[in-house]
Amino acid sequence: MAESAIGRLLAIMRRLRDPDGGCPWDLEQDFHSIAPYTIEEAYEVADAIAREDPAALKEELGDLLLQVVYHSQMAEERGWFDFREVAEAVSDKMVRRHPHVFGDRRIADAGEQRRHWEELKAQEQGGTPSLLDGLPQAVPALLRARKLQERAARAGFDWPDTAGVLAKVEEELGELRRAIAQEDRSAAQRELGDLLFSLVNLARWLACDAEDALRDANRRFERRFRTMEELARARGRTLSAMDAQELESLWQMAKQRETERSNSTG
């Protein structure tokens, strides 16, 4: 069943890219133009997971699979590889990197497996000279910061405890304040970057994911701001017509409503 469904999807993509009667928009696309959609679809999968929406997850996984099929079709047109080779390559890699499942190697826990995975990756890449090699530049900056820190920690370049990480956050915040006071825009951007990097490190020490934490904060802000808009409309007002004190009052009301809803459902 799965093979026939994949076969149908591959046939649809070939038809869309057929120079003789295919879709004009699809025919115009290349790897560079499609790449942003690939990234967007991956985020929409993550969003469906965060919302625990199985129907949306099924749809978004399909959209993400379409991206793989799209890139594979364009590669086949150039004579590089096809979808079958993509599937075979990743299957071979998964078997190779899980000798404790498909072979006779013993792995004690997930931590040891993670270390072994990285060792195998390094071997496959010919023994990379740096622990930081192989980290894509295009991944989200918060995620890349965490991965850089994790790699450095393997070499012992890490804080001994959370107190040191917090002190570094405070240090970077102080440097940002000084750059702002000096009206040095370039320095302020640099210090802001250092502060964000330190906060990602703090998240790592707290066993939190900075990307998830910021995503949650975004959702909280959005819910509260929408509540503010509802409260303003109930008064026959708009937010843009209110002063700072009124806006703060609505913000606190929105937070209170969210707390009450949380307590009632908890």
Indicate if the pLDDT at residue 90 is higher than 90.
Answer: yes
Residue-wise pLDDT for 95-107, tens only, equals 988 888 888 777 7
Please write down the long-range contacts of 243-251, taking CB distance under 8 Å and 24 or more positions apart: 251/224
Q: What is the pLDDT of residues 175-233, one digit of tens each?
A: 999 999 999 999 999 999 999 999 999 999 999 999 889 989 999 999 999 999 999 99
How much is the pLDDT for 133? 81
pLDDT on residue 261: 83
CA dihedral 230, 234, 237, 243 (to 10 degrees): -70
Identical fold between 2-95 and 141-208 = yes
The owner of tokens 């749809």 is 59
Q: What would the mean pLDDT of 115-123 be, rounded to a whole number?
A: 68
Q: What is the pTM of this model?
A: 0.67
CA–CA dist 136, 130 (Å, integer) = 14
Q: What is the pLDDT of residues 151-178, one digit of tens each?
A: 899 889 999 999 999 999 999 999 999 9
Q: Which residue in the block uniquely carries the two structure tokens 């240090």?
A: 171
Helix (H) or strand (E) holding 245: helix 244-265
Neighbours of 146 (CB within 10 A): 20
Give the pLDDT score at 58: 97
The residue extents of the domains of the chain are 2-95, 141-208, 211-265
- Give 141-208's CATH code, choosing from 1.10.3720.10, 3.40.50.12780, 2.120.10.30, 1.10.287.1080: 1.10.287.1080
13 CB-near residues (< 8 Å, 6+ apart): 66, 69, 70, 73
pLDDT attached to residue 140: 86
Mean residue pLDDT across the chain: 91
As a whole number of angstroms, the distance between CA 216 and CA 52 comes to: 14
Fold of 2-95: Helix Hairpins (1.10.287)
How far is residue 100 CA from its own chain's centroid? 29
Strand extents, DSSP E, the chain: none
